[in-house]
A and B are shown apart, each in its own frame.
Chain A
Amino acid sequence: DARVTQTPRHKVTEMGQEVTMRCQPILGHNTVFWYRQTMMQGLELLAYFRNRAPLDDSGMPKDRFSAEMPDATLATLKIQPSEPRDSAVYFCASGFTTGLAGGPRSSGANVLTFGAGSRLTVL
């Protein structure tokens, strides 16, 4: 089965350190999402890309978070400097979307596949 691969699975770091999380989307998927999950806030959308272009990063704290897609096989989420409140599980998900409102309905499109997540603990 095709899968979304995230690294690292677990990361413990100290406040102020830089953290980089990586995601390899499924081959052929053109859309990548970054989510953060915490007990208090649930699942939050941080950013997403289509065809490697950032479409929305309004969910990210701009001063410390950055997301990029250097190529179609790699998405990164970086936190610098990290803070204890960033402790969470970060999920990457990929899918295929065209962004064309009102397009034809299809049984095959628009399914998001999630990675296993990167659990970040900032001390």
Chain B
Amino acid sequence: AQSVTQLGSHVSVSEGALVLLRCNYSSSVPPYLFWYVQYPNQGLQLLLKYTTGATLVKGINGFEAEFKKSETSFHLTKPSAHMSDAAEYFCAVSEPFGNQFYFGTGTSLTVIP
């Protein structure tokens, strides 16, 4: 069985500061990993994904995440927060070509001017 843990349901950062959102997973096989972002009153949008190849993946809006197998982590980072980054962020995992997607409980990011 697979599961996803997002540490910190609420994260606040100052504008221009580093954003770090944590995600750990458990999986019996190397999974596919995803970060989704949800802006108010919208659906979830794919930020980035890791499926194969380079473990540091870059996504939209300056976000990136690194797959660390030894730590079973896939933390999301952005060097400099922008006001428009305020949103809910979800980490998700699936088995390669598997049916199921498992989502974390989400982290709400607040950016302080």
Contacts and interface: CB of A to CB of B under 8 A. Distances in A.
Given A106-B52, A110-B32, A99 B99 contact: yes
Contacts of B92: 112
Interface string B18-48: 0000000000010010101000011111100
Size class of B's contact patch? Answer: 20 to 34
A111 B49 contact: yes
Interface residues of A, number: 34
Contacts, number: 79
A99 to B, nearest CB: 5
A65 B101 CA distance: 21
A105 interface: yes
B79 interface: no
Given A43-B103, A100-B97, A112-B101, A105 B46 contact: no
A110 B98 contact: yes
A20 B43 CA distance: 19
Chain B, interface SS category: loop
Nearest to A50: B99
Contacts of B49: 111
Interface of B: 29, 32, 34, 36, 41-46, 49, 51-53, 90, 92, 94-101, 103, 105-106
Interface of A: 4, 31, 33, 42-43, 48, 50, 55-56, 91, 93, 95, 97-117, 119
Closest 5 A-B residue pairs measured CB to CB? A114-B43, A103-B97, A105-B52, A98-B97, A114-B44
